[in-house]
């Protein structure tokens, strides 16, 4: 795991903010709000918020500029997990070691909870008074997260994933393109929001960060595919082997296990090389790159 002190701090800060900013579970409509809190407050790694903080802090931003983007990206991630787990999508019944939202509540409530979490993310970026950045910066961050969530990002990636299921011969190019959208877009957005919130204006730094996040996002997904085969349900917190069972297009299926591990390491090396070109101390971002290819859940 990336530097434990840093990540533990981010996890605690983000959890406290989420508990404060989510509607309370006794506010009407109570069942909907209970489902929202259930999905978001389940223990998670909070890697995307941590990338916001790691990038922004590297560039000199303080917490007042990073907290709301970090919370917003976690809300979007939680919404995507609720919808991915639905019977009409991946049809999973376990997430983070607990019943998925549609199992714990019901399918209609889960859909509404996901919808509400998505809109709450954008509401916070637009209107939260504690988000201490210039108005033009606020709009840029809003645009980045919006695009990463939509048909040209995470939503489009999920659509392609459904199209590729049961397809006998997807190419590596198709698979990487799909996951650059489905998984990579939100990781890209996390890094980009940290950069924007710092109000840094350095195109060279920006390009290196884009190279870093693109490689990191793809490496993250390859490692997920590997863990679906090599890990266990109790460790993963979600059903082991579900990708194989559903005949999903995966990197191990296409490259073999050794080839998939090699590709993940190549991408981690690309990410680390990009950081070497930055005129900043980037230890936390470097630790993420190493963690991504070695994590066990």
- Backbone φ and ψ for 45, nearest 5 degrees, come out as -75, -25
How many other C-beta atoms are found inside a 10 Å radius of the C-beta of residue 188?
24
Ranges of each domain in the chain: 4-294
Rounded to two decimals, the pTM is 0.93
To which CATH superfamily is domain 4-294 assigned?
Farnesyl Diphosphate Synthase (1.10.600.10)
Return the pLDDT at 4. Answer: 79
Picking from 149, 146, 145, the residue whose alpha carbon sits closest to that of residue 193 is 145
Decide which of 249 and 37 is more confident: 37
Query: Given this model, what pLDDT does residue 128 score?
Result: 92
What are the tens digits of pLDDT across the range 227-278? 988 866 554 555 555 656 566 778 998 899 999 999 999 999 999 999 999 9
Q: Which residues face 99 on adjacent strands?
A: 94
Q: Is residue 94 a contact partner of residue 238, using CB atoms and an 8 Å limit?
A: yes
Q: How far is CA 258 from CA 116, 179, 212, 251, 292, in A?
A: 41, 19, 23, 10, 16
Quick one: DSSP state of residue 62?
A: -
**What is residue 23's DSSP assignment?**
P
């Amino acid at each position: 795991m990336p530097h434990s002190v840093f990540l533990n701090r981010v996890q605690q800060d983000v959890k406290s903010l989420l508990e404060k900013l989510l509607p309370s579970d006794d506010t009407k409509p109570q069942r909907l709000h209970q489902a929202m809190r259930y999905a978001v407050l389940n223990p998670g790694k909070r890697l995307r918020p941590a990338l916001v903080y790691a990038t922004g802090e590297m560039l000199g931003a303080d917490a007042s500029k990073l907290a709301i983007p970090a919370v917003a990206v976690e809300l979007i991630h939680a919404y995507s997990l609720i919808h991915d787990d639905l019977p009409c999508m991946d049809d999973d019944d376990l997430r983070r070691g607990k019943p998925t939202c549609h199992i714990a509540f019901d399918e209609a409530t889960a859909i509404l909870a996901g919808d509400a979490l998505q809109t709450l993310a954008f509401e916070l970026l637009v209107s939260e008074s504690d988000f201490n950045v210039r108005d033009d910066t606020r709009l840029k961050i809003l645009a980045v997260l919006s695009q990463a969530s939509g048909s040209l990002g995470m939503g489009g990636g999920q659509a392609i994933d459904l199209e590729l299921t049961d397809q006998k011969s997807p190419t590596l190019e198709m698979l990487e393109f799909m996951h650059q959208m489905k998984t990579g877009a939100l990781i890209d957005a996390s890094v980009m929001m940290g950069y924007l919130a710092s109000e840094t204006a350095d195109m060279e730094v920006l390009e290196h960060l884009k190279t870093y996040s693109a490689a990191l996002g793809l490496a993250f997904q390859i490692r997920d595919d590997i863990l679906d085969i090599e890990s266990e349900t109790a460790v993963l917190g979600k059903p082991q082997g579900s990708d194989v069972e559903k005949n999903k297009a995966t990197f191990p299926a296409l490259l073999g296990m050794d080839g998939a591990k090699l590709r993940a390491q190549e991408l981690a090396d690309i990410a680390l090389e990009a950081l070497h070109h930055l005129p900043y101390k980037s230890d936390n971002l470097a630790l993420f790159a190493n963690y991504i290819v070695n994590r066990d859940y």
